[in-house]
Chains A and B, each alone.
Chain A
C-alpha cells in the first residue's frame, strides 16, 4: 500500500508535535522494535560510528532511555522543560518500495530557556516502514548544518 505525500507529511508533523508537547514516550513508540536515532559528527555526516564519535547513536533501547530520562525531574538540563518549536519543510520522498519509504526534510528547531533562544538547523533523513498500514520509524538521522555547537553547548533535546 503506497502512502501519499500528505500522509507522510502528516506523520512527520505528528512526530514533531509530540516532541514539542514533551510526549516523549509516545515519540519513542513511533519507532519499530529495531529502530534507531542518530546524530553524526557535524563535519562528517557519513561517518562510521565504530571509528567516529557521534553525538547521538541510539538503538531502540537507548532512545527509549533518552525519552524516559528527559521526563525525570533529575534531567536537570531540561527541568523545567524548555519551550520548543519545530518546523519542517522541503519534504522530499526519495523512494517508496514495498513497505519501505525514504524521506528527507529540512528542519529548524528553536529552544527557549531562561530567556535564551538556541536554534538548531539541519536535515533529517527518515527510513519509514509501513506496519499494519501505519507508519513507523526504522531510522531517523539528524544532520546538523552547524559549524559547531556554539553557542548551543548541548543537544539536550530530541531533534
Chain B
C-alpha cells in the first residue's frame, strides 16, 4: 500500500499524507518520474509567430529556447552550449538568425546548427560530422490545438494519447474563434511560497470559491444584482491520466459570449454576434456550452487552463518543496475587437492576476497550508473526500466536490509509489 495516498471507498475517505508537500526526497522523485517523463506545457505557438522569433523558457527545471527557425519550423533547444555549458542565449525573447555564446564565441543558427567557432584550425575537420556539437533539441515536442508540450522521455506515449479525455475540454476553449486563439505578450511571472501541487488543487476547487473570494463576489454583485441568482453550480470530473475538469454556470460576464449588465449595450450587440457565429459553427447546444459555462481544466502534472471570466494558461514548477514559480498567460481569440479585448483584459486582471481581487487570496491560502504542514507535523493527513458519498450513490460529483483533485492524486500516487508497489509484488 502507498505511504502517501489512502483511498477508502466504503468509508468515503480520501487522504493525502502531508509529507507529499514538504519532503525533499519526494520532490527529487517528482523531478525524476514526473518532470522528466510527463508531457509539459512550454507555450503557445503564437508566442513566436515570425521566422527567427524565440523565447527563453524554464520547463521541468531545464533552461530551454522555444524557437521558430528561419525555415519556419518550431523547435525547442536546450539553452546550454555544447562547448562548456554556458547559457547560450541570455535575452528573454527576441528575433535572431544566430545565437552566439559569448564565452568562446561559438555561434549557432536558429535551428541549433553550429556555424562558427573561432580558432577552427585547432579542431578536427570532421569535428561536428555527427552534429554532436549543435545545440541539442529536446527529445519530444508535440502540439495540440496550438498548445505546445515537450517531453524529455523518448519513449513517452504521444501527446494526443496522453491528453486523452481532456481534449474534449481543450477543444471547447480552442473553438472560441474560427481564426484560432493567441497568447498575449507579457505573461505574468510570480511565485507562491507553497508546494507546487497545491496550485493544481486550488485551480479545480470550487468549494473554496465563496469563502476565499467573497470580496470579489461583493464587487461583482454590486455591478450586477442578478449575479446573485446564478449559483456556482456544475459538475466535477476525473478525465483519466491525472487530468480533471470542473464545468459550471457563470455568474460573471464571459467576453467570448456572455454579456453582463456591468457592460454597455454596444458590447451586448457585439457579444450577441459572437454567440450567433458560434451557433452557426457548432449548433445551439455546443455554442451555449462554449459561451455560458466556465471550465477549469487541470492537465497533469502542472498545466491549468481556466476558461472563466477570461482564459489563463498557468504552469508552475517547484524550486523547493515549499516554493514554486508560476507563469500565467492570457489566451484570447484571434480577431477579437479592441473593445472586447480590453474587457477581457480587465476581467483577467481583476480576478486572475497577482494584482487582482482574488488570486492574491488564493496565494495566501496556499501559503497558510504550507505553514500548517511545516509547523504542525503532528497532524499528518489532508482530507480530500468531498463528494465520495454522492459517488457511492451513483451520482455525478458536483463541481464543488473534490473528485477533480482525487484524479490528480491517483495519478501522482501511481507514479510516485511505483517502486513501493514493485517491491511489494516482489515479496509476494
Contact = CB atoms under 8 A, between A and B. Distances in A.
Interface of A: 39, 41-44, 47, 49-57, 62, 65-66, 69, 72, 74-77, 114, 116, 148-156
A156 B360 contact: yes
Contact of B189 (A49, A148, A156): A148
Nearest to B366: A153
B348 interface: yes
A27 to B, nearest CB: 16
B357 A53 contact: no
Contact of A152 (B186, B191, B357, B361): B191
B30 interface: no
Contacts of A54: 345, 349, 353, 355
B351 interface: no
Nearest to A151: B191
A153 B354 contact: yes
Interface of B: 92, 184-186, 188-193, 212, 214-215, 218-219, 323, 325-326, 330, 338-339, 341-342, 345-346, 348-350, 353-355, 357, 359-361, 363-365, 371
Contacts, number: 111
Contacts of B323: 151
A77 B185 CA distance: 27
Contacts of B360: 77, 154-156
Given A55-B354, A56-B355, A114-B371, A153 B190 contact: yes
Nearest to B346: A57
A52 B341 CA distance: 9
A59 to B, nearest CB: 9
B145 to A, nearest CB: 21
A75 B215 contact: yes
A52 B361 contact: no
14 contacts: A42-B189, A51-B184, A54-B355, A62-B350, A72-B218, A75-B215, A76-B361, A116-B193, A149-B190, A153-B191, A153-B326, A154-B190, A154-B360, A155-B354
Contact of A149 (B188, B215, B349): B188
Given A56-B355, A155-B355, 16 more contacts: A43-B92, A43-B186, A44-B185, A50-B342, A53-B345, A55-B349, A56-B349, A57-B346, A69-B215, A74-B214, A74-B215, A75-B215, A148-B189, A154-B354, A154-B364, A156-B355
B356 to A, nearest CB: 8
Given A44-B185, A56-B349, A154-B360, A76 B190 contact: no
A57 B350 CA distance: 9
A148 B365 CA distance: 21
A13 B354 CA distance: 26
**9 tightest Cβ-Cβ pairs between the two chains A and B:** A41-B186, A55-B355, A148-B189, A149-B190, A155-B355, A154-B360, A77-B364, A150-B191, A77-B360
A150 B190 contact: yes
A128 B330 CA distance: 33
A149 B172 CA distance: 31
